[in-house]
């Protein structure tokens, strides 16, 4: 951490700041420039987390040098984390694909989806039983009945189940049925939920918030890991920008940035990331080529009858074609997809 | 709602879309251009909320003409909503000011803050007992003990209390102590929480999400109102943009946009909106001049000892100066501040 | 400037970086943390502008402490710059208002506009003779004929003339007719144009680019000032964000930020900043309350016949009302408007 | 085009709008909803470009249905445009790679770069002779001397030359030496420059502006094509967002969007798009997998001695490795790279 003093800060102010830092057991390096004095802080900056340095007289700004997360960082754990979900490894040599409808709508729709997804080679079935929707008048999900259908589909196909938890209260019931708990983009900084899934002991899929920096995203992972749960899969799903041609702007460079800074597996969701089925295949290929460990794809037996996000769902035929393309791309990356 | 077909869409596709719309009891107006056919939909579009028109063959895009919220709209209720909070009117002729520390840190700090805030003329005491923080290693709040201090400060000063609820579970306990329940920016689309405060029967202060459009913000208000609670105060507190000179970009035009589209009171938080105490006074004046019904301001007896956001907190002296400036600006707006 | 080395950077890399810095005559302060070594650089960082420190082995990142502009900074010149334009002072005690149509369309339209603007109390007439338009099929301006009409309107009313230069070639002809050369948002980083207006010796109105940071904006001013022309007026006119309810997001906090960092006058254009005439009045008041030195407002005798941006133009009646409100707001700020 | 009237618009206002539209020879379709009347406009909307419909009384907003560009659209020309640059085809079956230093610094540096680039298999040499730089104090380029070095490198290696034109005045001199004229991101809406390169008869590489929507980018291409020059190559190079971990956010979905909407070739610049050499290889692979027709890559013999953007330049070794990876990815896409 570096403390930048305002131009012409009083000597007394500088000394007061130094005093605050050293009384917490940290060391300082003073660097007096022509215009500006800067104070380098050496030691564990957690000791200063409750010291409002930026509000002190004469302080211009604080520049953070190291990131706020620790357990999630590559410095803490240099090798890749591989998560074993009932025998399917996420973050390992093989690409993983999670696919299925946006929302669980009926037993029939889900079972049909599961068969399609399984046949095309995916390892996970996705589907929302609890749906967070912008308008209170939109379809809100089948809730526990939806979870039961998911579990039934798992029995029938052997697919693993990933589904969203929308609040801390529903974590226990979702844990009963799911293999992976998904925390959605809107909840990425729902800290109560993060702590609860951190204690739940199940693998967690953590979507990036629509306006979250990578640093904030990894801090959210840190909340989960800080509760003792190290099985966190990160999922890039697009950020909000000024561009309106796509629903969001899929930030594939985030995959490479995270891979450098963090040891957790990263997957990409091009369905939400683009919002249009025509863009899903090219962006799925691109995600794999960028180094993603897996994909999350919306597939629906009949997208034009879907109750949620039909516009971005693939038909069974398109999904099969995607899987073939992705498989070839994965091989270029030295990966063996199913 | 308008359905735009792709250039050269097949007649059969157009007919299929029309069939979907009319089978829900709505009417269509067909407009065949040289390149493109568009289908105007007349009637209550809620009837179509579960029809995935955008996924249908031949559909290029859907253009929404009317907003998704109803109860929050000026069309629904043309006159301004004025909320009576124990005799203090929000949205009426007088400007309201909510002020206090970011976090409740101790009984002493809070009581001292309350006296300062009261003396300068504010009507509400703000202060967080539950603190959502980006890093799990930051100060997380005094929780119920903090609420008790807030209630005590109310007894002592007569100020009303506004404080944040961070999850649905804590709504009952916060209701015991607070006059207004604050829903923070990160929770603006925590729909479970919105529904819960909608049922709680207390006035709600709904902050705009850091990357929420005005349309999404008003839809979030609609979630609360849809549960029967019409006492919603909107609070603009800055959006995330590319600019890094300020913590957020305070979007004051949102005040005017909301005032046109919606009947609810709107206040502005220049402390979070700018992130720097030097910018709070000019932006507080600007907010009032833009037509805001009130302000939320961070004040701390000793900002350089604050456990949270000291950088953006005003000293007692600065706060008094702000109140005087704001008072003069309010008069220009035909408002009488306390 | 601070050089942050990667965790575990080799001693040889650190020494090589120090060597590069010291061979340019600068000093370093070394600060070795537990994880990271940082190198503080003391001296004139211009000496390092051609040294690619960030590409050197072992360098994680460079943190700039001081801004890139010098002549534009408050450190360089603490007192406000006041620009005298034929007796009208910009940046002084009185608020200045520049108003008129988006584009000069005809002699009649311009003369009529000038009379309206003058009568309501503005000091400057604005109007584009050269129009940069997104589509090649839109109205592109009357060019030199438009300039002649502007000059004629000045003769008739005594208003000063501000109009846009769209490229370096047209600077001489615009100089013949205008009192202030406007550099538009799209040209804020057209460096050839900046240098040319810097040499032209006329006052320059420099609009902020739609996606320019405040730092980049002040660097653009520096380009002009570096050619010897210190008469630069900055104009905030909205930035591009995700919000679509307004044409741009007017960033009024930029006024306060610039006033702290820079000595040049700052005005605000709420017409382009919001894109809708209904929002112009509240945002004009807010701009003045935020501390702006002036306003630029689009006024058209008949907005619904305007060839450009009629949607955001005020009618004569609305403009008069705005001037009265702005006048009252200016007085609160201790300013005397005309 | 659709004209949405305000709720409760007067019949007289509706009629006046209809009159304006029909007097230009266009037809209207009227659709009267419960709350809102909408007017569909059928015919060539260019006829209305100078009619300020949005400023007319009772008009809420205009919704554009078709894009503003015509010649650049797939509707105008369904098949892909392939540009022949001295025998090298851009937009054809083979991927093209343009590589070289950010700036031409010296004869020696450029010749060395050219040999590296040629040997690794690229077809184009890139290098800036005129450099637009944020600060007036940064290296501004060798200008015509740099162009001479580029031409000399072409003689020696057979590589085609692509280099930037920064203003209309320098178009003739750049045409003397270059095979492709590059219009940089900052100049994407420098309309004078667009028209000039449109008349110059040389192929143009048009970079996307840092905050340009895809619609605006294609309109900029339309400016060039409208002058009769159809040889336009589009180049995605990252947009400005809130994320600070990368210099820009490379928007690879733009490649797929443009490929659907437009017939021109699209290439990607991951060097500027990410700003960090470590991210260039993954994003180059991803760009090819997303369907890009080519890449533009910064390569420098000694990045840590570069006068510009060394941080994002590849070493010769890294560039060779990139070319091998890209080659394998191109094959998956059914493309044969050199």
pLDDT digits (tens, 9 = 90+) for C52-99: 788 888 888 888 877 889 899 998 899 999 999 999 999 999 999 999
Residue A177 has pLDDT above 90, yes or no: yes
State residue C229's pLDDT score: 97
Distance from CA of A308 to the nearest CA of C (A): 23
Region D30-43: mean pLDDT is 81
Local structure of residue A137 (DSSP, 8 states): T
A250 vs D246: CB contact, 8 Å cut-off?
no
Label the pairing between strands D83-85 and D88-90: antiparallel
B253 vs C249: CB contact, 8 Å cut-off?
yes
Residues 87-116 of B with CB under 8 A from A: none
- The residue of chain B nearest to residue C325, with distances taken between CA atoms, is B332
State residue C309's pLDDT score: 77
Does the beta carbon of D25 lie under 8 angstroms from any beta carbon of chain B? no
Region A59-81: mean pLDDT is 88
State residue C98's pLDDT score: 98
Residue among B16, C36, C158, B186 nearest A212 (CA): B186
State residue A329's pLDDT score: 95
Residue C245 has pLDDT above 70, yes or no: yes
Does the beta carbon of B42 lie under 8 angstroms from any beta carbon of chain D? yes
Q: Which of A282, A292, A295, A330 should be substituted to probe chain D, the one whose Cβ sees the most D Cβ atoms within 10 Å?
A: A282
- The residue of chain C nearest to residue B275, with distances taken between CA atoms, is C253
Q: Above pLDDT 70, what percent of chain B?
A: 99
Q: What is d(CA A227, CA D247) in angstroms, rounded to the nearest whole number?
A: 33
Residue B41 has pLDDT above 90, yes or no: no
Region D166-191: mean pLDDT is 95
State residue B130's pLDDT score: 92
Distance from CA of A46 to the nearest CA of D (A): 22
Per-residue pLDDT reduced to its tens digit, B221-264: 999 999 999 999 999 999 999 999 999 999 999 999 999 999 99
Which residues, 6+ apart, have CB-to-CB distance to A154 below 8 Å?
Answer: A125, A160, A161, A179
Does the beta carbon of A42 lie under 8 angstroms from any beta carbon of chain C? yes
Residues 71-90 of C with CB under 8 A from D: none
Residue C337 has pLDDT above 70, yes or no: no
Does the beta carbon of A245 lie under 8 angstroms from any beta carbon of chain D? yes
* ipTM exceeds 0.85: yes
Residue D45 has pLDDT above 90, yes or no: no
Residues 173-202 of A with CB under 8 A from B: 186-187, 189-193
D40 vs B34: CB contact, 8 Å cut-off?
no
State residue D253's pLDDT score: 98
Q: What is d(CA B203, CA B181) in angstroms, rounded to the nearest whole number?
A: 6
State residue D31's pLDDT score: 81
Please check whether residue A301 is in contact with residue A116, taking contact to mean a CB–CB distance below 8 angstroms.
yes
Region A98-102: mean pLDDT is 96
Distance from CA of A226 to the nearest CA of B (A): 8
Q: What is d(CA A35, CA C75) in angstroms, rounded to the nearest whole number?
A: 9
Q: What is d(CA A323, CA C172) in angstroms, rounded to the nearest whole number?
A: 62
Q: What is d(CA B292, CA D325) in angstroms, rounded to the nearest whole number?
A: 57
Q: Which of C9, C27, C33, C63 should be substituted to probe chain A, the one whose Cβ sees the most A Cβ atoms within 10 Å?
A: C33
State residue A121's pLDDT score: 96
Distance from CA of C257 to the nearest CA of A (A): 13
D222 vs C187: CB contact, 8 Å cut-off?
no
Region B62-72: mean pLDDT is 85
What's the whole-number average pLDDT of chain A?
92
D40 vs B31: CB contact, 8 Å cut-off?
yes
D304 vs C56: CB contact, 8 Å cut-off?
yes
Per-residue pLDDT reduced to its tens digit, B182-205: 999 999 999 999 999 999 999 999
Please check whether residue D263 is in contact with residue D78, taking contact to mean a CB–CB distance below 8 angstroms.
yes
Contacts of C240 in chain A (CB under 8 A): 242
Which residues, 6+ apart, have CB-to-CB distance to B71 below 8 Å?
Answer: B77, B222, B225, B226, B230
H-assigned helices in chain D: 11-22, 107-120, 144-157, 171-177, 191-200, 214-226, 253-261, 270-274, 277-290, 316-332
State residue D303's pLDDT score: 86
B64: confidence class by pLDDT, cuts 50, 70, 90 = confident
Q: Give the neighbours of chain C: at least 3 Cβ pairs within 8 Å.
A: A, B, D
Region A31-44: mean pLDDT is 80
Residue among A191, A48, A219 nearest B131 (CA): A191
Angle C214-225/C253-261 helices, nearest 10 degrees?
A: 50
Residue A13 has pLDDT above 60, yes or no: yes
State residue C33's pLDDT score: 75
What's the whole-number average pLDDT of chain D?
92
Contacts of C169 in chain D (CB under 8 A): 168-169, 192
Please check whether residue D23 is in contact with residue D47, taking contact to mean a CB–CB distance below 8 angstroms.
no
State residue A80's pLDDT score: 97
Residue B337 has pLDDT above 70, yes or no: no
State residue A193's pLDDT score: 94
Lowest mean pLDDT among B114-118, B181-185, D135-139: D135-139
Region A295-319: mean pLDDT is 89
State residue C242's pLDDT score: 96
D254 vs A260: CB contact, 8 Å cut-off?
no
Residue D172 has pLDDT above 70, yes or no: yes
Per-residue pLDDT reduced to its tens digit, D88-106: 999 999 999 999 999 999 9
Residue D66 has pLDDT above 80, yes or no: no
* The model scores a pTM over 0.80: yes
Lowest mean pLDDT among B129-133, C100-104, C242-246: B129-133
Lowest mean pLDDT among B320-334, D66-80, D153-167: D66-80
- Residue with tokens 């619609």, as numbered in its chain: D215
Lowest mean pLDDT among B12-26, B148-162, C289-303, D296-310: D296-310
Angle D214-226/D253-261 helices, nearest 10 degrees?
A: 50
A33 vs C44: CB contact, 8 Å cut-off?
no
Please check whether residue A138 is in contact with residue B49, taking contact to mean a CB–CB distance below 8 angstroms.
yes
């Amino acid at each position: 951490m570096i403390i930048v003093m305002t131009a012409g800060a009083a000597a007394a102010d500088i000394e007061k700041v130094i005093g605050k830092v050293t009384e917490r057991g940290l060391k300082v390096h003073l660097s007096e420039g022509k215009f500006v004095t800067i104070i380098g802080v050496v030691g564990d900056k957690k000791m200063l987390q409750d010291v409002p340095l930026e509000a002190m007289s004469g302080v211009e700004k604080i520049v953070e040098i190291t990131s706020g997360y620790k357990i999630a960082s590559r410095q803490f754990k240099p090798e890749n984390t591989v998560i074993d979900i009932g025998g399917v490894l996420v973050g390992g040599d093989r690409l993983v694909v999670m696919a299925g409808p946006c929302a669980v709508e009926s037993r029939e729709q889900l079972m049909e989806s599961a068969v399609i997804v399984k046949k095309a080679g995916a390892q996970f079935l996705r589907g929302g039983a609890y749906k967070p929707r912008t308008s209170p008048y939109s379809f809100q999900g089948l809730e526990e009945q939806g979870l039961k259908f998911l579990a039934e589909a798992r029995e029938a196909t052997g697919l693993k189940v990933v589904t969203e938890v929308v609040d801390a209260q529903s974590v226990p019931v979702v844990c009963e049925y799911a293999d992976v708990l998904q925390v959605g983009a809107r909840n990425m900084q729902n800290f109560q939920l993060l702590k609860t899934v951190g204690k739940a002991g199940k693998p967690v899929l953590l979507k990036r918030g629509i306006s979250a920096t990578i640093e904030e995203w990894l801090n959210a992972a840190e909340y989960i890991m800080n509760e003792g749960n190290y099985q966190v899969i990160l999922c890039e799903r697009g950020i909000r920008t000024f561009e309106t041609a796509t629903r969001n702007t899929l930030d594939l460079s985030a995959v490479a940035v995270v891979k450098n800074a963090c040891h957790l597996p990263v997957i990409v969701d091009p369905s939400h990331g683009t919002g249009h089925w025509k863009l899903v295949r090219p962006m799925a290929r691109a995600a794999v080529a960028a180094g993603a460990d897996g994909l999350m794809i919306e597939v629906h037996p009949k997208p034009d009858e879907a109750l949620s996000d039909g516009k971005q769902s693939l038909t069974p035929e398109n999904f099969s074609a995607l899987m073939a393309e992705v498989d070839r791309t994965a091989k270029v990356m030295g990966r063996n997809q199913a």
